Structure 1
Amino acid sequence: MTVVALLSVAPVIEGSMASEVAKAVAALDEFDVTYETNPMGTVIEAEDIEELMAAATAAHTAVDADRVSTFLKIDDKRTREYEASEKVDRVESELGRPARSER
């Protein structure tokens, strides 16, 4: 089984969130997941939903703020194993080019 998720953890504070977001990302290192952070969140891949949920919970808990906003979108593919990069590869194949602008 492969589980892919988009996780966004953000403290509700004024000013830069970078140091707190970094704590959330660093918390993922304690789990058997792979991840890649982008400007809108972090894509996480795990073998099972339990590991993914534990990692997401740790990331949420790692943020030190009075209020924390967390968004978790899960794609739990139960019929075969795959990598998140396959999704991008398929879109790029349909486009016939990289899935990003030239700017």
Structure 2
Amino acid sequence: MTTVALLSVAPVIEGSMAGEVAKAVDALEEFDVTYETNPMGTVIEAEEAIEVFAAARAAHEAVDGDRVSTFLKIDDKRTATSSAADKVAAVEDELGREARGE
């Protein structure tokens, strides 16, 4: 995969956003992407950036509310192939350990 992105979609509301965030994550199922949700957003991987844009738009539109805040950061590697896992592994190789703390 050549495109890795970080997507964060959240309604501007008080209280828990979990239900609305779940709608955004569920919308990704309709696209040819892989994804992993973490506490700060969802990492999306796809062969082409256009797939990420389409999935992000659907996730944004899936959230109900008068105001929705969406952040999308894309790493579109056009001359090489590396996954999100490859990127983490490279950092761990430099560290000589896992890139996580207890």
> TM-score, length-normalised on structure 2?
0.97
Q: Secondary structure at the match of 1:82?
A: coil
Q: What's the offset of the Cα at 1:82?
A: 1.5
Is 2:92 aligned against 1:92? yes
Query: Over residues 72-97 of structure 1, what are the superposed CA-to-partner deviations in whole Å (9 max), with x where a residue is unaligned?
Result: 00000000111110010011111111
Runs of 5+ consecutive residues of structure 2 not aligned to the other structure: none
Between the two proteins, what is the percent identity of the paired residues? Answer: 77
Quick one: which amino acid aligns to residue 83 of structure 2?
E
Amino acid across the alignment from 1:6? L
Offset, 1:29: 0.3
Backbone CA RMSD of aligned residues: 0.8
Q: After TM superposition, which residue ranges in structure 1, 4 or more long, deviate above 3 angstroms? A: none
Distance 2:73 2:50 in 1: 15
Whole-angstrom CA distance in 1 between matches of 2:95 and 2:82: 21
TM normalised by structure 1 equals 0.96
Give the distance between the partners of 2:96 and 2:50, measured in 1 at CA.
36
- Determine whether 1:65 maps to 2:59: no
The residue type paired with residue 72 of structure 1 is L
Letter in 2 for 1:17: M
- Aligned counterparts of 2:81 and 2:58: Cα–Cα separation in 1: 25
Q: What is the CA distance between 1:53 and its match in structure 2?
A: 0.4
* Number of residues of Structure 1 aligned to a counterpart in Structure 2: 102
Q: CA deviation at 1:49?
A: 1.2
CA distance in structure 2 between the aligned counterparts of 1:76 and 1:55, rounded to whole angstroms: 15
* Equivalent residue, structure 2, for 1:31: 31
